[in-house]
Structure 1
Amino acid sequence: MISSLNSIRFRDEVGEVEYFGQKVVLLRRDAFSLIRKELSRVAGTASGVILEVAGRRVGTEEGIVLSSKAEGLGLNRPEGLPDFIRTAVEESNMGFGKMQVKELEISVGKAVVIVQNSFEAEDAGVSLKPICRFTSGYLEGIFCQLVGKNMRSQEIECKAKGDNDCKFILSLAAS
C-alpha cells in the first residue's frame, strides 16, 4: 500500500496541501480539543450532537469518494467489499488514531471498530463517559456509504474514561 507520507503534496506556490489528491488543512492535534471546548462553552450539551453530525457528514463524503474508487476497481461486489472496507477504514490514515475493523458482517449490518491513540480521547482529559462523538459520526457516515445501509455507531469503550482504547459498535439503524 502507498505510504501516507508519499501521498502528501505541499503546494507552497498557492498555499495548499494535498493528501491523496484532495485539498486538506493541517492542524495540530490539540486544535480539535480547543474547538471542542469552545463549542461546549457556546453550545453546552448540544456540542456533542453537533460534533457527531459534523463527523457523520465528513464520513459520508469520505465514503462517497471511497465507494467511487471501489466501483472503479470492481471491488464493490460482495466478494471484494469486506476487504476493501477493512483497507479503506484501516489504512486511509486521517489522523483519527489507529483504526482496526475487528468484526464486519455486511449482511446483517454490523461492525466493531477499535481506535487506538484516538485524537479525541488523548487530549480530552478524564471523562465518566465516552467522548469521541466526531469519530462516532465519522464511522457512521463512512460505513453507511461503503455498506449501503443506514447504520448507527455507539462508542462503548473510551480511552478518556480509562479504557485501553476506544471501541465502537456499528449496527443497523432502527427504521
Structure 2
Amino acid sequence: MVRDLFMFAGLNERSQIVWFKIIYSKEPGSLSSIINFLEKENAFIMFGHLDNITQKTGEYSVFIELDKNIDPEDFARKIKELDVVSEVEYGISKYRMIYSADFPLNVVGVRGVAARALTIVDIIKTLNQNVPHAEGLLTMSGLKGGIHSAKYFKSILNLNDSNFADVLAELYRAVGWGILEIECDPKTYQGKIIVKDSFIADVYGGSDQPVCAFMSGYFAGYLTDYFGKNISVREVSCKATGKNVCEHIISPAPSGGTGQEYQLRGETR
C-alpha cells in the first residue's frame, strides 16, 4: 500500500523535506534509538511508517523537515553509524510535492500511480460521451481490477467470511476511492454496498444517471473471485444524481452466461 506517500503543501525557504529509508535490526530499543537520534538532531518528523521486513530486520521510512544548511548525505551517514542501522537511503522533496520513499509505488501487489481524481473522471466522461456501451466497458474494467485485488489478498491474507468486507472497505479508504458500508450475506450472495464520498460521483458533477459503473464492476469482480461464484453488482442510487450517497446492490448473476458477459451487456442498471 501507499503508506509512505504524502504531500507537503507550501514552501519554507529556511528548511528542506528529506525522506530516509532506514533498515534496522529488530533488537529491543533499536527503533527508539533511531527516533532519539533524530530528536537530538532537531529533525522534525512530519510523517513515517514502519514495515517489518523479516523477523530480524525492519524498515523505517520517515519524512523529515531539516534546516536547509544541513547536508542530507552527511545526515544519512550519521544515521547509518548507529549500531542498530544497516542501510540508509534518502531523497529530497525539493518542491514539497508528492514524494515516496519507494519507487515505483506498490498498490495491492502491482505498480500504482498517484493521480488526480479529475483525471480519472475525465477519462470516464470521455468514454460516456463518445463510446457505445461505455457503461459496460467501464464495468468490465472495474471487474478485472476487483478480481485482481481479491486474488492478491487471498495470497497474503486468510481472507474469509468474517473479514472479506472489511478488507475491501480498508482498501477503498486507503486509496482515497470512498468510505464503504458493506452488507453481504455469504450464503445468499445478496446485500448492498453504500459508498460515501465516492471520488467518481463527487468529481463528476450533476448527472441524470448513476456514474459509478467502474465501482460496481470492481465490487462484482472482488466478490466473484472471493465467493467463486458469478456476482452481479448494480448501482441503484448515485450521489451524482443528487442523492446523499451511492448505493450498489449485490446479487447472484443470472444463469445462462458468465459474469463478464452479463456485465458487458450493460444490464447492471
Give the TM-score range, shorter chain. Answer: 0.7 to 0.9
Matched, 1:89 2:190: no
Contact 2:2 2:107 in 1 (8 A): no
- Aligned in 2, Cα 1:4/1:166: closer, same or farther, shift over 3 Å? farther
Asked whether 1:25 is paired with 2:113, we answer: yes
Larger relative contact order (Cα-Cα within 8 Å, sequence gap ≥ 6) = 1
Whether 1:163 aligns to 2:243 is: yes
Once the two structures are superposed, residues 41-71 of structure 1 have per-residue CA deviations (whole angstroms, 9 ceiling, x without a partner) of: 431x42211111100011111111112234x
In structure 2, distance between residues paired with 1:59 and 1:98? 16
Given the superposition, is the C-alpha separation of residues 85 and 121 from structure 1 closer, same or farther in structure 2, using an over 3 Å criterion?
same
- 8 Å CA contact 1:96–1:135 kept in 2: the answer is no
Residues 41/155 of structure 1: CA separation in 2 closer, same or farther (3 Å cut) = closer
Asked if structure 1 preserves the Cα contact closer than 8 Å seen for 2:121 and 2:203, the reply is: yes
TM-score when scaled to structure 1?
0.82
Q: Does structure 2 retain, via aligned residues, the 8 Å contact 1:82–1:104?
A: no
Post-superposition offset of 1:3: 9.3
Tell me what 1:99 maps to. Answer: 180
Assess if the C-alpha contact under 8 Å between 1:66 and 1:146 holds in 2: no
Q: Of the candidates 209, 213, 222, which is equivalent to residue 133 of structure 1?
A: 213
Identity across aligned pairs (percent)? Answer: 27
**Matches of 1:165 and 1:148 in 2, distance apart?**
29
Is 2:188 aligned against 1:67?
no
The secondary structure found in structure 1 opposite 2:201 is helix
How much does 1:83 deviate?
A: 2.0
Determine the C-alpha separation between the residues in 1 that align with 2:230 and 2:109.
28
Which residue is 2:265 aligned to? Answer: none
When you count helix as a share of all residues, which structure comes out higher?
Answer: 1
TM-score under structure 2 length normalisation: 0.55
**Between Structure 1 and Structure 2, which shows a larger proportion of strand residues?**
2
Kept in 1, the 8 Å contact 2:148–2:222? The answer is yes
What is the distance in 2 between the residues matched to 1:65 and 1:128?
A: 36
Give, in angstroms, the shift of residue 22 of structure 1.
3.4
Aligned mate of 2:104, from 7, 16, 25 = 16
Cα root mean square deviation, aligned: 2.4
**Structure 2: 5+ residue stretches without partners:** 5-48, 52-60, 62-98, 256-269
* Cα distance in structure 2, aligned partners of 1:91 and 1:51: 23
Secondary structure of the residue aligned to 1:108 is coil
Rg larger in structure = 2
Q: Size of the alignment, in residue pairs?
A: 162
**1:83-139: per-residue Cα shift (whole Å, max 9, x none)?**
2112211111332211121x2211111121111000110111111221100000000
Q: Secondary structure at the match of 1:58?
A: helix
CA distance in 2, matches of 1:34, 1:132: 13
CA distance in 1, matches of 2:215, 2:244: 17
Relative to structure 1, the CA distance from residue 22 to residue 159 in structure 2 (aligned partners, 3 Å threshold; closer, same or farther) is same
